[in-house]
Structure 1
Amino acid sequence: MRLVVVSNRVALPDSSDRAGGLAVALDEALREGSEGLWFGWNGETSRRPSDSVHEQRHGKVSFATVALSREEFAGYYESYANRCLWPLLHFRVDLTAYDEEAEHQYRAVNERFARLLAARLRPDDVIWVQDYHLIPLAGALRRLGVSQRIGFFLHIPFPPAALFETLPGHERLAEDFAAYDLIGTQTEADAAHLRDYLAKTLAVPLEGGSLLHRGREVRLDAFPIGIDPAGFRALATAEEGESEFLRLRANLRDRALVVGVDRLDYTKGLVRRMRAFESLLAQFPEARRQVEYLQVAPLSREQVEDYRRFRLELEQLTVKINAQYGETDWTPVHYINRILSRATLAGLYRAASIGLVTPIRDGMNLVAKEYVAAQDADDPGVLVLSRFAGASAQMPEALLVNPYDVASVGRALEQARQMPRAERRARHAALYAGLCRQDLRGWRQSYLDSLRGTRA
């Protein structure tokens, strides 16, 4: 039984896309059987659509990739996926920009992917589709006669039905979801929202949480994604991570470091987070000169106007805080837009006394888990985590906060700064044990076992 993974981007062998834990987990899943196939976009654009598929083999795994035309990239990826579905699925109806032509491109790309993939499928394949870019893929495959098991995993949240129904033509996406055999989400809440929406729109609820639509049973369940905690901890103490750790410790001179690491995106709550650090300095003058905040925020979707405005606001706020509170030998806020290697991040997390992870909405958030994994168990830092991150359901021992309440997040930072070592050790031990119970390998295996258990 061959596993076929389909994703918007394919992490080709020896590419930088393979640095993340998810890419490694999918690659390991593909190599567990006798063979595997990974299909998707190669990250390149061309002048016009093409059915040319580039195929290469690396060990047991075959990689099949296609390019998008510039028109497809603009409509399918930039507009419908990222200006329409992304904000809507993060509950931001106010930022949702629907465009009928973009939806046409979104569906056309999924139809082309389905046609090119179907020609490469075998009768006993199990197909695992990743994320919101490819919701229509199973329906397109079914129309081509594909009857193999097809599963879908949504890596980002799913909103309540009343919000999702604001999308023009949302019923078409409901039909797309119903073509899968198994839909996985990050949290029970996301699964419940999607189940309620489908039951309200077109499907009949069954016992056990499944749905029935046109004779097909669709199973929905939560499969919280994890990390490899031991592997990430090893990165923090290996040569590159150790070097970053020692460099930061020397520069901090016994000051506490608050660290945030996020893609530059409005869902991550970065402006409110920086205001929370400002609130810490305003509410607790004794914290001044004793703490510094480092925000790493690699640039994202720079062609989108909302993101450019967001970046400018964050830069101006950084300057304001440093101008108001900084001194000749102390800069409160450090802000960089570069991508850092995973090993460097591991060393950075290890050096930080406080991990500040406060998205306004997030499917899971693996930064919170990596921060915990990188800590020294004997003298660990404290995780301050948004209640609206999916990870909060698995990490109750963190200091859970409401990111919309800036002053209370500031007080949580002071609580973390003053927390006794015994309490920090107890909280960290519980958090790390949770990471080990629900790790990346377990996530992958539990999902695939469930998918293979569905009826073809």
Structure 2
Amino acid sequence: MARVVAVSNRVADPRKAAAGGLAVALGETLNATGGLWMGWSGKIVEGAEGGRPGEGELKVQQAGNVTLATLDLSREDHDTYYLGYANRVLWPVFHYRLDLADFNTAYLAGYRRVNQLFARQLLPLLKPDDLVWVHDYHLIPLAAELRKLGCNNRIGFFLHIPLPPPLILAALPGHEWLVGALFAYDVVGFQSEADAQHFSRYVQSEAHAEVVGPDLYRAFGRTVLARSFPIGIDVDEFAALTHGKEARETYETMREQYSKRQLLVGIDRLDYSKGLPHRIRAFQELLASYPESRRSATLIQIASPTREDVDAYMDIRRELEHLCGQINGDYGELDWMPVRYIHRTLARKRLPGLCRAARVALVTPLRDGMNLVAKEYIAAQDPGDPGVLVLSRFAGAAEQLREALLVNPYDTQGTARAIHQALNMPLEERQARHQALLHRIRTHDVHWWRRSFLEALEHVDAAARQRAA
């Protein structure tokens, strides 16, 4: 395989086990091909001129066999590109929350400027046969900017978050430009079939694209291969973590402290897309409608801090804290607290222990690209006595994990019924569901995801399709 060049908003050292996420997914291929990974350093340079946009200094270092290239951002670029367009415009719109979007025109200018900056800095680092793999909504126009500079490499893009239906996407000012930029890629990947169908419907209705083959669309003078490549986890790696010291300690502590309880767990970032208030209300409904769950069921809800300088996140934190306090006040006893709310990040090495100790996992986002917590919970279970996954039908993972208990998180009573069913599910049914789910996450794991996407990118005949266009 040719050298792989990954580009994402942030960069992580793939040698560090705690890196997780994209580093785990890309580390093997980047190491094998002597790859390059480029992104923002995470540093903001105020500068002598009040942090006005600049070209940015490229810093290159080695991480084993992988080259890491990072850029600092000026204060203005960070605030318009990252906080502004990426997180105040694209994130809410792509998660169907038009009411939370801030369509400030300065944000779009900063977003385009930083993508142009990435393109200018990346181009001199590329070799003619490199495969370039761009990740997520921060960098949608990167390929278009590279093409303007004369880049002829095969370039793929993967969207880690959902793609909304055409009418929601069309509410985005400049949506034609944004989606048109995707046609500068050779391969565009989505998390789910639903997302791929949204793309297909949009480009045919709004861009009058022609379908020229299976998953092939021609518009804007180019042809792109667009299909779903659902991301997975490294099942063996996460399962092995359950036997680590930190995971065992967490598991044993939870089993000892909750030996007389049925433990439920939610592990999320504190984000309005995760449906945390809806989940807490469903748990409240469980206690109200099923009295036998009182003094028995305990929910541990971890809500890791994220984007706390955005007003919508402060609002949801206040709402969540109020709901948890209300439930504990109404139902709590001296020796039993219904909800334990933790606004901190739990160490990755401890997560498998908590997952294994939980009888039920609540993964109930209002909208999610995939949600890997659902798959990690499955990987962490004891096959002889597994827990039950309660999963939102609006998570991308629901397309694959059909043996979970699928719920509509907006339906408080329906979700409460599913939680009650999970808490009382017979062992034989739990084992059968878990066996099927484990098979699914093994079949389509992170290695399958990476391999299938890069094979599609490597074998797509970009030059021939460009001529045909």
TM superposition score category, shorter chain reference: over 0.9
Aligned to 1:257: 263
> Structure 1 residues 400, 13: CA separation in 2 closer, same or farther (over 3 Å shift)?
closer
1:394-441, Cα deviation, whole Å (9 max, x unpaired): 011101000000111111111111111111011111111111111110
Residue 40, structure 1, aligned to residue 39, structure 2:
yes
The answer for the alignment partner of 1:208 in structure 2 is 214
Any idea what the Cα deviations from partners look like across 1:258-308, whole Å, max 9, x if unmatched? 100000000000000000000000000111011100000111111011110
Deviation at 1:163, TM superposition (A): 0.7
User: Match of 2:127, SS?
Assistant: coil
Q: Residue type matched to 1:26 in 2?
A: L
TM alignment of 1:393-412, pairs within 5 A: 393-412=399-418
CA displacement at 1:27 relative to structure 2? 1.5
Tell me, yes or no, if structure 1 residue 130 matches structure 2 residue 135.
yes
Partner of 2:89: 84
Which secondary structure state, in structure 2, belongs to the residue aligned with residue 174 of structure 1?
helix
Residue 198 (structure 1) aligns with: 203
Matched, 1:163 2:162: no
Report the AA paired with residue 155 of structure 1.
H
Aligned to 2:381: 375
Does the Cα contact within 8 Å between 1:183 and 1:220 map onto a contact in 2?
A: yes
Q: Which runs of 5+ in 2 are unaligned?
A: 463-469
1:209 Cα deviation after fit: 2.1
Matched residues in 2 for 1:170 and 1:318: separation? Answer: 39
Distance 1:448 1:155 in 2: 16
Alignment pair present for 1:274 and 2:280: yes
Residue 308 (structure 1) aligns with? 314
Task: Write the distance in 1 (CA, Å) between the matches of 2:180 and 2:401.
Answer: 35
| Shift in Å, 1:28 | 1.3
Q: Does 1:111 align with 2:111?
A: no
Q: Tell me how far apart the structure 1 counterparts of residues 29 and 295 of structure 2 sit (CA, whole Å).
A: 48
1:9 and 1:196 map into 2 onto residues whose CA distance is 31
Aligned residues: 454
Residue in 1 aligned with 2:347? 341
1:338 Cα deviation from its structure 2 partner: 1.1
The alpha-carbon deviation at position 58 of structure 1 amounts to: 2.1
Partner of 1:2: 3
CA shift digits 1:152-210 (9 cap, x unpaired)? 00001001111100111111102211111000000111011012212223332222121
What is the CA–CA distance in structure 1 between the aligned matches of 2:428 and 2:179, rounded to whole Å? 50
Please name the residue that 1:148 is paired with.
153
For 1:322-361, list aligned pairs within 5 A.
Answer: 322-361=328-367
Alpha-carbon contact 1:158-1:194 (below 8 Å) kept: yes
Cα distance change of structure 1 residues 76 and 21 upon mapping to structure 2, 3 Å threshold: closer
State the identity as a percent: 51
Please give the alpha-carbon distance, in whole angstroms, between the structure 2 residues aligned to 1:80 and 1:411: 39
How much does 1:60 deviate?
A: 1.9
Shift of 1:15: 6.2
1:215-263 deviation per Cα after TM superposition (whole angstroms, max 9, x unaligned): 4210001000011112111111221111100001100023110100000
C-alpha distance after superposition, 1:344-380 (max 9, x if no partner) = 0110000000000000000110000000110100001
- Once residues 272 and 219 of structure 1 are traced to their aligned partners in structure 2, the CA distance between those partners, rounded to angstroms, is 37
In the superposition, the TM-score normalised over structure 2's length comes to 0.95
Gaps of 5+ in 1: none
Given that 1:19 and 1:342 are in contact with CA atoms closer than 8 Å, whether structure 2 keeps it comes out as no
Output the CA distance in 2 between the equivalents of 1:4 and 1:13: 14
SS in 2 for 1:379: coil
**1:57 equivalent in alignment to 2:81:** no
Alpha-carbon contact 1:227-1:439 (below 8 Å) kept: yes
Asked if structure 1 preserves the Cα contact closer than 8 Å seen for 2:14 and 2:27, the reply is no
Shift of 1:113: 0.4
1:40 partner letter: G
